[in-house]
Amino acid sequence: MNLKLKPSLREKRHYLLIKVNSEKDLDEKEIKEKIKKAIFEFIGILGYANAGPIFIDIEDENLKKEMKSKKMIVLSVTTKFVKHVKAALILSKEKNFSLDCIRVSGTLKKIKDFIKEMKD
């Protein structure tokens, strides 16, 4: 009995590279909470569930250090809700804190390549 989904039935996802602009030095957990809150406030419970945001952890240590120094994070979202999530990030209003979506890609490899290019 095979319980694996066929690729045609799987939800397609895009990856968003988000840059955090903050005067305070926030840790990764606080940043994730603020991103979740921004999405939740803009598109609500049902929209949040449909968007299915997942924070992606990069295994490459050099890229991880680079992302941490530049305050960047990768978020995976279903393709139908990319525009909604981007709008939620832009419209998140907090004093001395903003979120910018730098790049959207269909593959994680392209996001990693983009980060490597930024480093050079």
The Cα 34–Cα 11 span in angstroms is: 25
Written as six digits, the tokens of 11 are 């939800």
pLDDT for 119: 65
More confidently predicted of 110 and 1: 110
Q: List the domains of the chain with CATH numbers.
A: 13-119 (3.30.70.3250)
What average pLDDT score do residues 48-55 get? 92
pLDDT digits (tens, 9 = 90+) for 64-113: 888 888 888 999 999 999 999 999 999 887 778 888 899 999 999 998 88
Q: Of the candidates 43, 30, 28, which has an alpha carbon nearest to the alpha carbon of residue 91?
A: 43
Question: For the whole model, what pTM was predicted?
Answer: 0.86
pLDDT for 25: 80
Task: Band the pLDDT of 58: cuts 50, 70, 90.
Answer: confident
